[in-house]
Amino acid sequence: MGMPSLGTDNGSLDHMDTASSSTTANATATASGNTTASNITAPPLPPLPPGFINPLETGGIMLGKYKDRPYEGEPLNIIIASNSSKDMMDAEGFLIWATALGFGVSCLGQGDPQTIMYANLGERNPAVKQGSGYGLNGVLRWNYGMPEVGTCRESLEGGNHFRWFVQESPKGNAIFLAPSLEQSLANLHNIQVDGYNRGRDQIVQIATNPNGITWEGNTFNATVTWIEPGRLMNATSANISHAEMAAPGQPVVDGRVAVLYVQTITRSNQNTTQNQARSQLMYSPTWVWLMITIVFLFMYEIVECI
């Protein structure tokens, strides 16, 4: 699932605090057929934004992959910078922010252990499992304004969702997201047209709301810095999952990466450890059986239509 050129394993520099070298070649620079390589001087690249380590410098790749499909992957096109508020960099704080953003763990708090992605985020993080490393919280789904049950609707109807991967570093952790808009269960959760780019843009738009985002007394705001194509990812369809879902005449991935700097404005005094941003919800038996019945009936309708 790798990407060519700078979308795979090329790159350099620790972008926590280091500027790009003037000798680093620009991914989009090309030479005329009449010009020898020795006469080409690529312009210096501006430094990448601070708050993460460039995975490309030590063999990483800006894709999340399934272990049984190493030839393709899904783009990691959002980064939560390490110089966000400190509480954002632990699982509980991140999940609370995700709930304020409008996302939650999969329906009934469950996940499919057979569909776990991993990301190679560089030398210190060569095989990062999605999520916090415990439980099945690696996929967060749009909750349709209903934190308790809305992700069940997303599982049935489709919508935005993302996987998240923690890049650990002595200088501070960063979190890489792989968002996408997906179709309904009836369409086997295929990606929507231009779903990678649109999924990213929706998350950035919500996160950077000038009025902030809030959930149960927890309030956050964020700013964004964009990294243009050719630095961390190329605009391409090569080696990308669901490449056929590109917008007409466009690659399925536009190559842009959003770096979010998230600040915690207020934190609730409630026992958020028990809430875990809806990742450990306790459901009543009646509610569970109701949702199971709804899912069963929905699947029955799908089978009847086939």
pLDDT band of 135, cuts 50, 70, 90: confident
Q: What pTM did the predictor assign?
A: 0.79
Q: What is the pLDDT of residues 180-222, one digit of tens each?
A: 999 999 999 999 999 999 999 999 999 999 999 999 999 999 9
- Please, what is the average pLDDT of the chain? 82
Span 51-75, average pLDDT? 97
**Segment 101-108 mean pLDDT:** 90
Complete DSSP assignment for 169-218: -TT--EEEEEEEEE--GGGTTPBPTTHHHHHHHHHHHHHT-TT-EEETTE
CA 243 – CA 236 distance, rounded (Å): 9
Could you tell me if 105 and 278 are in contact, meaning their C-beta atoms sit under 8 angstroms apart? yes
**In the chain, what are the domain boundaries?**
62-266
Q: 81-90, 133-142, 289-298: which range is least confident on average?
A: 289-298
Res 10: pLDDT: 35
In DSSP terms, 63 is beta-bridged to 75
